[in-house]
């Protein structure tokens, strides 16, 4: 089979790495890919959002299966476009991807299906949103309705912050159309948990649990990022919680989609907050998580191509996903300054030395190869994953590997999976 993986992050390197292990695979293209995917597949310089070029490429090169990494091409309708040409592609249609691309659509569906989530109000008029700030109890969470590169969620601790955020989103259009409508919701407290499911329209299969670390600095301080690290399994996730999650969240969600005549086929990843009153849905993602994928796939024993194909064909119910019972810890190495301004083009050393450690995989994110050297090319640069019998052991190995990698300005969190390792 010929595969095309779309995207250029650590998630896409992990997907390419895992797909490459399948006996069914002869060749993988990655568009646009990074230095890491370039070592195990063929990078094609087409941006992930250039849908016409991607379609043309898949057609001309007789790609048997396309796997979409990021949310943007899904929200733009890449699956519908490929489908119209009978090109096989893994991911939800544009309509189904609204679960992620419209927080209001997701919120309304949750409300209709009584899925536990934060209490929320939605606004399409900035004056109404501003006057709501006169009566609401702070802090609140303000969210742009659409996709905003993970930056469209702001915690406002008082009226001043809320007013500035509403104006920035709705009046000044800082997130373009994504912020024309907003959600204002209660701030939930607890630890987060990421669940991934392969959904085939009717049935689904859950992955092992994972947790990511969204804040930039140790102790969950600083701004939200795309994710600074992850580990699996999540230490706060029990079999009882999983049963509750399936009964109160997954099944009602699938029932709700059916009522809306939406067929969801692809990876669905609800992000949960484990509150004192039980799990609450923070968001739905319609794609693999980043960096959760880098922590999850090294634990997966099943063939990923088989699972993706079964999902597309509506046959995931006939498959069980097998997992290694070990733990995994992923530490993200970022450019200094990320998620704000940062420099690129820094030489990365120690990659081979880190990768030599037992049970360690170095996944590339913002990297590129220039004259045989690997240089930084983005905010999140690498994701170093280590497996171990316990979270503690995986964690020690991951940081040992991280200590072998160097580039100017490198920033990483020292406390990834720390509480789980001690707990
Ligand atoms: P979202 O894009 O909705 O997933 O939000 C991104 C991140 O913001 C989440 O993963 C949480 O860390 C945080 N977040 C979102 N909504 C809430 C909430 N209601 N209470 C607390 N934290 C939240
Ligand atoms: N890990 C967060 C995300 O993929 O959205």
pLDDT tens-place string over residues 394-407: 999 999 999 999 99
What count of Cα atoms within 13 Å lies in the side-chain half-sphere of residue 403?
A: 8
Query: 345 and 249, same structural domain?
Result: yes
Instruction: Mark which of 91, 113, 140 sits at the end of a domain.
Output: 91
Q: Which ligand is nearest to the CA of 212?
A: 2
Domain tally for the chain? Answer: 3
Q: Are residues 373 and 270 in the same domain?
A: yes
Query: What sign has the CA pseudo-torsion 119, 124, 126, 127?
Result: negative
Q: Which atom of ligand 1 is nearest to the CA of 189?
A: 21
Identify the pLDDT of residue 381. Answer: 98
Residues 265 and 355 in one domain: yes
Pairing of strands 89-90, 65-68: parallel
Q: Is 0.85 topped by the overall pTM? A: yes
pLDDT over 90 for what percent of the chain? 97
Q: State both tokens at 159.
A: 């009226």
In a domain, 117, yes or no: no
| Nearest CA owner, ligand 1 atom 9 | 282
| Domain hosting residue 30, numbered range | 2-91
Whether residue 273 is found in the same domain as residue 167? no
Q: How far is the CA of 141 from the centre of ligand 1 (A)?
A: 8
Query: What is the CA(370)–ligand 1 centre distance, in A?
Result: 38
Q: How many CB atoms lie within 10 A of CB 371?
A: 5
DSSP string, 121-147: EEES-HHHHHHHHHHSPSPEEEEESS-
- Tracing tokens 């200590």 back to the chain, one arrives at 403
Give residue ranges with CB within 6 A of ligand 1.
118, 141, 143, 153, 185, 187-188, 192, 214, 224, 271, 282-283
What pLDDT does 150 receive? Answer: 74
Distance 127 CA to ligand 2 centre (A): 32
Task: Measure 283 CA to ligand 2 centroid, in angstroms.
Answer: 10
Indicate which residue's Cα is closest to atom 5 of ligand 2.
Answer: 289
Domain boundary among 40, 68, 91: 91
Instruction: State the pLDDT at residue 223.
Output: 87
> Could you tell me if 354 and 255 lie in one domain?
yes
pLDDT in tens, 365-389: 999 999 999 999 999 999 999 999 9
On whether both 79 and 132 belong to a single domain, the answer is no
Ligand number nearest to the C-alpha of 100? 1
Q: What is the pLDDT of residues 200-230, one digit of tens each?
A: 999 999 999 999 999 999 999 998 899 999 9
């Amino acid at each position: 089979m010929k595969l095309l993986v779309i995207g250029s992050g650590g998630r896409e390197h992990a997907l390419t790495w895992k797909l490459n292990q399948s006996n069914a695979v002869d060749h993988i293209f990655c568009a646009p890919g990074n230095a890491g995917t370039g070592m195990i597949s063929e990078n094609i310089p087409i941006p992930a959002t250039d849908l016409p070029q991607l379609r043309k490429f898949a057609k001309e090169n007789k790609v048997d299966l396309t796997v979409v990494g990021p949310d943007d091409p899904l929200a733009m309708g890449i699956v519908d476009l490929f489908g119209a040409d009978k090109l096989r592609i893994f991911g939800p249609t544009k309509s189904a991807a609204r679960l992620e691309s419209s927080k209001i659509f997701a919120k309304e569906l949750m409300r209709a299906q009584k899925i536990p989530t934060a209490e929320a109000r939605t606004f399409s008029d900035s004056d109404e949103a501003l006057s709501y700030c006169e009566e609401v109890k702070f802090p609140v969470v303000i969210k742009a309705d659409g996709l905003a590169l993970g930056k469209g969620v702001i915690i406002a601790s008082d009226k001043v912050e809320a007013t500035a955020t509403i104006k920035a989103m709705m009046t000044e259009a800082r997130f373009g159309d994504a912020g024309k409508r907003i959600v204002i919701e209660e701030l939930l407290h607890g630890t987060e948990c990421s669940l991934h499911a392969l959904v085939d329209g009717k049935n689904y299969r859950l992955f092992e649990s994972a947790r990511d670390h969204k804040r930039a600095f140790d102790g969950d301080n600083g701004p939200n990022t795309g994710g600074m690290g992850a580990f699996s399994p999540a230490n706060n996730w029990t079999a009882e919680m999983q049963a509750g999650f399936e009964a109160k969240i997954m099944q009602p969600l699938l029932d709700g989609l059916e009522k809306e005549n939406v067929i969801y086929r692809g990876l669905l990843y609800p992000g949960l907050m484990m509150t004192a009153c039980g799990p609450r849905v923070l968001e739905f993602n319609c794609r693999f998580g980043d960096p959760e994928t880098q922590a999850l796939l090294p634990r997966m024993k099943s063939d990923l191509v088989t699972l993706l194909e079964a999902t597309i064909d509506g046959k995931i119910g006939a498959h069980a996903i097998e997992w290694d019972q070990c733990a995994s810890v992923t530490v993200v190495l970022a450019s200094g300054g990320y998620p704000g301004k940062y420099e690129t083009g820094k030489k990365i050393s120690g990659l081979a030395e880190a990768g030599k450690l037992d049970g360690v995989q170095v996944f590339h994110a913002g990297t590129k190869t220039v004259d045989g050297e690997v240089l930084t090319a983005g905010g999140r640069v690498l994701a170093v994953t280590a497996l171990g019998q316990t979270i503690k052991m995986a964690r020690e190995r991951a940081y040992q590997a991280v200590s072998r990698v160097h580039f100017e300005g490198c920033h990483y969190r020292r406390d990834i999976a720390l509480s789980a390792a001690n707990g």
